[in-house]
Structure 1
Amino acid sequence: MKKLRVAIIGCGRISEVYRYVFKQLSDRVEVAYAVDKVIEKAEDFAKDFEGCEALRDYKQCLDKNIDVIHIATPHHLHASMAIDAMRSKINVLTEKPIAISLEEADEMIRVAKEENVKFGVIFQTRYVKGCMDIKELIEQGKLGKIVAARSYLSWHRPDSYYLESDWKGTWDKEGGGVLIDQAIHSLDRVLWLVGSDIDWVEGHVDNRLHKIVEVEDVADALVRFKNGCDYHLYATNCYSYDSPIQIEIVGEKGKVGLKQDLAWVEIKGEEPYEIRDGYDGLTVGPNYWGCSHITQMKDFYDSVEKNTPIFIDGKEGRKALELIRAIYKSSKEKTRVHFPFQD
């Protein structure tokens, strides 16, 4: 089988995961280009892949017979880079969030359709085995009617986390704080597991500890789904360490949840049990990155090669951003925000 020629734009912190995955999938992909405005970072990435060229400007690789471009850059660059790549007939898989505005996200989705290319958004935590199994239980009706959900994220981000970056902690480049950068994975999983459109949201964000930045470091909200489920979310970067993320879905017949990537199931009349992810080969980066980038990337490559639908496409990737933007609006205007929402 002919290998897919891939390029990565952005050779920062998260690129270590891509370095690892590309090595694991060397039978499927040829890493042709590594791009970063800091050329030394691109060169460091490229050295691990024979024939890989390091570039400062991503536009230099757009006409080079590339099959897939991976975008791992600051949030505000996702839209312009993805659109340029798709206009060049290149399939795109971008890190979350899809963009920092719904207008940008909608344009990305439109261009993907217009150019007939594959466009996906990284939300690797959906691919955790426990999360997949929980979704199947819900769809089978094992929990009955879903009545409530919650997600709690209590992490630690010191001031140095923001001081070491020229884009973290800014509205115009990061697009927000703890919601759009850390808690977005929790939101995405709850939205997918509940499987209903949102009716309305009331939320509040604030900056209580990180006064050196302009974005929120704490957020809470109540989300009412059209199926009647109430989703309670809380997120903060003001805790003493990165505590495991807690997600719970409650139905009339039982409840299920995730503690980081460990799933648990309690269905009435049945013995409670846990579901552990069977893949533990990923050892790079913080443990909250999980081990499922490789699963999502393989799935995306399958879709490219077989011309099948993308599981987490632009429309799916947009959902978490829509909720986050609505929470920001609700907090700013101190009002309930109804869906569908467009800022």
Structure 2
Amino acid sequence: MKKLRTALIGCGRISASYAFAFPRLSDISEFVCAIDIEEDRAKAFAAPFGAAYGTCLEDLLDKDIDAVHLCLPHYLHAPMAIRAMEAGMHVLTEKPVAVTLQDADKMKAASEKTGKKLGVIFQTRYEASVQQLRKMIRDGAFGRIISARSILTWSRPYSYYEGCDWKGTWDKEGGGVLIDQAIHSIDRIRYMLGSDVEWIEGSIHNHYHDRIHVEDTAEAAICFKNGCLYSLYATNSYAADAPIFLEFQGEKGRCGLKQDVGFYELDGTYEEIQPVPAPGNKDIPDYWGMGHYAQLRDFYLSLCNNTPVSIDVTEGRKTLEIVKGIYYSSLCGRRITLPFEDTGYTDLNVASVPSPPSSAL
């Protein structure tokens, strides 16, 4: 089998997960080129692989690339994905799929027009505990799932935003704690539950970060079409990155995740599902998990076998729609039903998020 020729655009912090995965995928792929607007950063990423490097997408056009990975600021996902597909490359982009639902729709249209596959990274779906609990939920082990909850309390001090012109902005990041950090919790709840959303009632706030314009705290009540009520709380104003907590309560028992350790309780018996051990890498935070490798392999196999991409643009859009729905509900001050029209509300976001007190993190 001919190996896939792959490239990476964006050699920032998240690229450490790709540096870990690429050597372990050498049986089906060959990493060919790294791209970053900072040439030294691209050169440093490419060096261990003996790969080429450059500063723009055009530097890939003469290298016969099969698939490109996008690790870029959120607002660049849509234009870069569309350009890459039009240039003949399959695309796997980091989350979120885009900043707006309209951009996600344009990406889907480009994928269909060019015949190129488009995937979205939600690597936490690939954790062993997520897969096992999802199967148990789908098999009815816990009976009907009545409710779910997720709690994220992380720390994003001002140093996280300094020197970056896109984080903490509505137009380039698309929001704050919801679209950047809590989106993985939202995606896992939706994926494990296996149902679309009926309505959302949410509220966003900026309590502590007076140098950014997006939310640092959010809460929402979300009703899925199967009747499950999902309660969400997320803040990046805590003093540390505490373990994420997800839980499903069913008629016969409960299950969930404490970071990447799964648990379930049935008939009075409590069991834990330990994560699959993986080699340590100091450049990969624990809360990222080791799912990038598994999702990249899955994506590559879909290209080799011409099968559907597991987490495609449609899947990415569904999770984005929940995030944007929370924003829209907060701005409207009411419960909204899905689907909804979100055209033009970015400007309202900027005006509507209350200014925090001057006390700084």
Fold similarity call, TM over 0.5: yes
CA shift, 1:329, in A, is: 0.8
- What is aligned with 1:277? 275
CA shift, 1:60, in A, is: 2.6
Aligned residues of 1:184 and 1:320 also touching (Cα < 8 A): yes
Q: Distance in 2 between matches of 1:195 and 1:47?
A: 42
Q: Which moved more, 1:107-116 or 1:122-131?
A: 107-116
Counting matched residue pairs gives: 341
> What amino acid maps onto 2:279 in structure 1?
G
Aligned residues of 2:138 and 2:193 also touching (Cα < 8 A): no
Give CA-to-partner distance per residue, 1:269-308, whole Å, 9 cap, x none: 2622111122322523211011111000001011010111
Give CA-to-partner distance per residue, 1:116-168, whole Å, 9 cap, x none: 22111000000000000011001111111111000000000111111131211
Give CA-to-partner distance per residue, 1:187-227, whole Å, 9 cap, x none: 00001111111111010001111110000000000001111
**Is residue 110 from structure 1 mapped to residue 109 from structure 2 by the alignment?**
yes
> What amino acid maps onto 1:43 in structure 2?
K
Equivalent residues in 2 for 1:189-338 (5 A)?
A: 189-267=188-266, 269=267, 271-283=269-281, 284-338=283-337
**Is residue 101 from structure 1 mapped to residue 94 from structure 2 by the alignment?**
no
**Is residue 183 from structure 1 mapped to residue 207 from structure 2 by the alignment?**
no
Q: Distance in 2 between matches of 1:121 and 1:38?
A: 24
Q: Distance in 2 between matches of 1:77 and 1:70?
A: 13
Q: Distance in 1 between matches of 2:105 and 2:82?
A: 11
> What amino acid maps onto 2:278 in structure 1?
D
**Is residue 16 from structure 1 mapped to residue 37 from structure 2 by the alignment?**
no
**Is residue 86 from structure 1 mapped to residue 85 from structure 2 by the alignment?**
yes
Aligned residues of 1:156 and 1:237 also touching (Cα < 8 A): yes
Equivalent residues in 2 for 1:155-166 (5 A)?
A: 155-166=154-165
CA shift, 1:87, in A, is: 1.1
What TM-score, normalized to structure 1?
0.97
> What amino acid maps onto 1:258 in structure 2?
L
Aligned residues of 1:102 and 1:342 also touching (Cα < 8 A): no
Q: Which moved more, 1:24-33 or 1:247-256?
A: 24-33
Aligned residues of 1:149 and 1:249 also touching (Cα < 8 A): yes
> What amino acid maps onto 2:46 in structure 1?
A
Aligned residues of 1:281 and 1:291 also touching (Cα < 8 A): no
> What amino acid maps onto 1:275 in structure 2?
I
Q: Which moved more, 1:282-291 or 1:181-190?
A: 282-291
Aligned residues of 1:143 and 1:253 also touching (Cα < 8 A): yes
Q: Distance in 2 between matches of 1:148 and 1:332?
A: 25
Give CA-to-partner distance per residue, 1:158-192, whole Å, 9 cap, x none: 11111131211011111100000000000000011
CA shift, 1:62, in A, is: 3.4
Q: Distance in 1 between matches of 2:276 and 2:291?
A: 11
Q: Distance in 1 between matches of 2:155 and 2:340?
A: 31
Secondary structure of the residue aligned to 1:216 is coil
- What is aligned with 2:142? 143
Runs of 4+ off more than 6 Å: none
Q: Distance in 2 between matches of 1:63 and 1:110?
A: 25
> What amino acid maps onto 2:53 in structure 1?
A
- What is aligned with 2:351? none
> What amino acid maps onto 1:10 in structure 2?
G
Q: Which moved more, 1:174-183 or 1:115-124?
A: 115-124
Give CA-to-partner distance per residue, 1:299-339, whole Å, 9 cap, x none: 10110101111111111111111011111111111111111
Q: Which moved more, 1:223-232 or 1:27-36?
A: 27-36
Give CA-to-partner distance per residue, 1:223-277, whole Å, 9 cap, x none: 011111100000000101000000001111111100010000112x262211112
Q: Distance in 2 between matches of 1:341 and 1:130?
A: 33
Q: Distance in 1 between matches of 2:12 and 2:77?
A: 14
CA shift, 1:28, in A, is: 2.3
Equivalent residues in 2 for 1:61-72 (5 A)?
A: 61-72=60-71
Q: Distance in 2 between matches of 1:98 and 1:279?
A: 29
Aligned residues of 1:34 and 1:45 also touching (Cα < 8 A): yes
Aligned residues of 1:67 and 1:91 also touching (Cα < 8 A): yes
- What is aligned with 2:5? 5
- What is aligned with 1:120? 119
Q: Distance in 2 between matches of 1:87 and 1:113?
A: 11
Aligned residues of 1:322 and 1:342 also touching (Cα < 8 A): no
Percent of counterpart pairs with the same letter? 49
Secondary structure of the residue aligned to 2:150 is strand
- What is aligned with 1:76? 75
CA shift, 1:63, in A, is: 4.9
> What amino acid maps onto 1:9 in structure 2?
I
Aligned residues of 1:282 and 1:291 also touching (Cα < 8 A): no
Q: Which moved more, 1:233-242 or 1:279-288?
A: 279-288
Q: Distance in 1 between matches of 2:280 and 2:29?
A: 18
Aligned residues of 1:62 and 1:85 also touching (Cα < 8 A): no
